Amino acid sequence: MNPRSGKAKSRRLQNAIRDTILEHFSNLKPDDVRCAIMGESGEDIKLSPAAREVFPYSVEAKNQESLSIWAALKQAQENCPDGITPLLVFKRNHTETFVTLKLDDFIKLL
């Protein structure tokens, strides 16, 4: 896969995550949730303070056929601001989208 199509594939997942957040939190405006520019460091989904209040996660998005889960989790944790829960969102072609977070963070949701 060439770099351009790889970036487009990543951008599609980021857009889907953004749209899903906006769909499920109808009080948020499009400016509250935006995708990072390809190559920009840090979180893949940029959240306003209002969005962070209802969606307290730092999203790392991976749309790859072969994923090194440990490297992706490390990147999610490194890009995560203090006090925010890192969330890895991943998929590959022709599959559903999945999320991964620490067990303790998952238990807090229950």
pTM of the full predicted structure?
0.90
**Which residues are CB-contacts of 73 (< 8 A; sequence separation ≥ 6)?**
86, 88, 100
Please give the pLDDT value at position 73.
96
Please give the pLDDT value at position 41.
87
**Which residues are CB-contacts of 4 (< 8 A; sequence separation ≥ 6)?**
none
Please check whether residue 33 is in contact with residue 16, taking contact to mean a CB–CB distance below 8 angstroms.
no
Please give the pLDDT value at position 39.
78
In this predicted structure, the answer to whether residue 3 has a pLDDT above a threshold of 70 is: no
Count up the domains in the chain and report the number.
1
At 36, is the pLDDT very low, low, confident or very high (cuts 50, 70, 90)? very high
Which tokens is 52 given? 């962070």
Please check whether residue 7 is in contact with residue 37, taking contact to mean a CB–CB distance below 8 angstroms.
no
C-alpha closest to that of 58 among 71, 73, 44: 44
CATH of the domain at 21: 3.40.1350
- Give the tens place of pLDDT for each residue, 62-110: 999 999 999 999 999 999 999 999 999 999 999 999 999 999 999 999 9
Domain that holds residue 8: 3-109
Q: Is 9 exposed, middle or buried (0-12, 13-18, 19+ CB in 10 A)?
A: middle
The H or E element that residue 57 is part of is strand 57-63
